[in-house]
Amino acid sequence: MPEISVIMSVFNGEDFLAESIQSVLAQSFKNFEFIIIDDGSNDNSSEVIRSFEALDPRIRFITQKNQGLARSLNIGIKNSKGKYIARIDADDICYESRLKKQFTFMEKNPSIDLIGSSVDVIDENGSVTASKMQASSFDEIFKKRYFTSPILHITFFGKRSFFECNNGYRENFIFAQDYDLVLRGIDSGSVMLNINEKLVQYRDFQRKINALKFIQQFRITQLAIKLSKERSRFGIEVSDVDQILNKIMAVKKLDIFIVNIFLKSYFLNSSMKNSLLKKGVSMMAFILSRDIRKLITRDIMAYKIK
């Protein structure tokens, strides 16, 4: 029986898929199964997966019509056999020692339900452009849970019971499923933290960013926070989630236009001219976009929390 089930869902991810799969297969820890779900891709993702499946029996390939990320991951979990569940996306890279370090940590700390790690940020060419350091203590995670993502999804490494007891991913959330799961876990008494080390490379580049998706993801994140506060206050969720989601998905063209400019300025280099331009764009977006105003305010509040 595998100790770990690594789960990846793929939708039209052929560009970086082979590199991502190889980073999992090359792990120094060997006793794992690798469940890959092709969620209705219409590119060559299936062919890439099958080429690896033919060479490594640890790969278990599931193909289906497009059902969305949350549903795909729940299917992967349901079909998994490992004591622990680990996540990775189809364009991100695991460092060679990732699974070994996370497995060893969990075995030594049985009271912990879910861990993550910090990450290096890479561009579409694989060059490291930044690092993202995550809160390492549960106290800090708890304090900042409504302002920053407590555990980065691509670094998830948790007990099977964490996913099962919290009913897996909420399938009507097309974005922020991981954030919602983490908040539900915290609210139900799960303990989680981050290893103070970078174990994954997260791929971030301009072509990947879509203004509409960015807005919808941020709004669903806000909904996840709202539901968590309801659970804390009333013991249950009182909002009509489906009704709110319908409103969230309806985004005005002006909002998309403003956020698109804001996102493009994010990828400008750090020259003095561009720094001034970024500040100007951020100010304009703060004034004209309710979503950006909430986002910037949230980031400021997160920075102030000690």
pLDDT of amino acid 208: 76
Q: Which residue has the higher pLDDT, 267 or 162?
A: 162
Helix, strand or coil for residue 105? helix
Does 117 lie in the same domain as 58? yes
Determine the straight-line distance between the first and last CA of the chain, rounded to whole angstroms: 43
Q: Is the pLDDT of residue 220 over 80?
A: yes
Q: Which helix (H) or strand (E) holds 223?
A: helix 211-234
* Average of per-residue pLDDT across 28-35: 98
Of 155, 174, 207, the last residue of a domain is 207
pLDDT of amino acid 191: 97
Query: In the structure, what pLDDT confidence band is assigned to residue 301 with cuts at 50, 70 and 90?
Result: confident
Mind listing the pLDDT tens digit for each residue in 261-299? 998 887 666 676 678 888 899 899 999 999 999 998 988
Does 224 lie in the same domain as 203? no
Looking at the structure of the chain, the number of domains it has is: 2
pLDDT of amino acid 35: 98
Q: Is the pLDDT of residue 304 over 90?
A: no
Does 221 lie in the same domain as 98? no
What value does the mean pLDDT of the chain take?
A: 94
CATH of the domain at 128: 3.90.550.10
Q: Which helix (H) or strand (E) holds 106?
A: helix 98-108
Query: In the structure, what pLDDT confidence band is assigned to residue 58 with cuts at 50, 70 and 90?
Result: very high
pLDDT of amino acid 270: 67
Pull the structure tokens for residue 84.
């622990």
Share of the chain above pLDDT 90, in %: 87
Does 166 lie in the same domain as 30? yes
Number of neighbouring beta carbons within 10 Å of residue 228: 20
- Burial class from Cβ neighbours inside 10 Å (0-12, 13-18, 19+) for residue 70 reads buried
Mind listing the pLDDT tens digit for each residue in 65-119? 999 999 999 999 999 999 999 999 999 999 999 999 999 999 999 999 999 999 9
Does 298 lie in the same domain as 284? yes
CA atoms of 280 and 218, how far apart (whole Å): 22
Does 47 lie in the same domain as 185? yes
Mind listing the pLDDT tens digit for each residue in 103-159? 999 999 999 999 999 999 999 999 999 999 999 999 999 999 999 989 999 999 999
Cβ 90 vs Cβ 16: under 8 Å = yes
Pull the structure tokens for residue 247.
């409103």
Does 256 lie in the same domain as 197? no
Q: How many residues does the chain have?
A: 306
Number of neighbouring beta carbons within 10 Å of residue 73: 27
Strand runs labelled E in 180-254: 192-203
pLDDT of amino acid 106: 98
pLDDT of amino acid 225: 98
Q: Which residue has the higher pLDDT, 259 or 206?
A: 259
pLDDT of amino acid 277: 85
CA atoms of 204 and 130, how far apart (whole Å): 10
Does 64 lie in the same domain as 40? yes
Q: Which domain holds residue 264?
A: 211-304
CA atoms of 119 and 133, how far apart (whole Å): 7
Does 152 lie in the same domain as 76? yes
Does 182 lie in the same domain as 223? no
Q: Name, in order, each residue with C-beta under 8 angstroms of 139's C-beta and a sequence gap of 6 or more.
A: none
Mind listing the pLDDT tens digit for each residue in 238-258? 999 999 999 999 999 999 999
Of 207, 241, 264, the last residue of a domain is 207
Of 207, 230, 249, the last residue of a domain is 207
Query: In the structure, what pLDDT confidence band is assigned to residue 302 with cuts at 50, 70 and 90?
Result: confident
Q: Is the pLDDT of residue 306 over 70?
A: no
Helix, strand or coil for residue 200? strand
127 DSSP 8-state letter: -
Does 22 lie in the same domain as 130? yes
Does 193 lie in the same domain as 217? no
Cβ 201 vs Cβ 92: under 8 Å = yes
Distance of CA 237 to the CA centre of its chain: 23
Helix, strand or coil for residue 18? helix
pLDDT of amino acid 140: 94
- Burial class from Cβ neighbours inside 10 Å (0-12, 13-18, 19+) for residue 241 reads middle
* Average of per-residue pLDDT across 24-36: 98
pLDDT of amino acid 163: 98
Smallest CA-to-CA distance from 102 within 118, 91, 90 is with 118
